[in-house]
Amino acid sequence: MGVTKQVLSAGDGTNFPQQGDKLTMHYIGTLASNGKKFDASRDRGRPFSFTIGVGQVIRGWDEGVAQMSLGEKANLNITSDFGYGPRGAGGVIPPNADLNFEVELLAINGKSA
């Protein structure tokens, strides 16, 4: 249960997000059960920004992205208890769904790789 990370391409290895940092990411979200894409930042034509560690995103992101260094691209495999749990999300993510995210950490507090 939780989140596991698989590095696709290494980041700088020195700059890691800290609680309260504003992060800028690109991501693709898919359902683990069938690989169906439910969201992607590039489809909207702009990256996604959030503050880490303050509950703005699902727990799997808060914990998984914190392990990434600036410029890193990784897969996050997130179990439902670290995702949207029994409520699901917006009719797009079913209840108790495990999720996969391909994520890329583009910037920390405006500093890019």
Residues acting as catalytic residues: 27, 38-39, 58, 84, 101
CA distance 54 to 73: 22
b or e along 59-89 (b: 16 or more beta carbons within 10 Å of the residue's beta carbon)? Answer: bbbbbbbbebbbbbbbbbbbbbebbbeeeeb
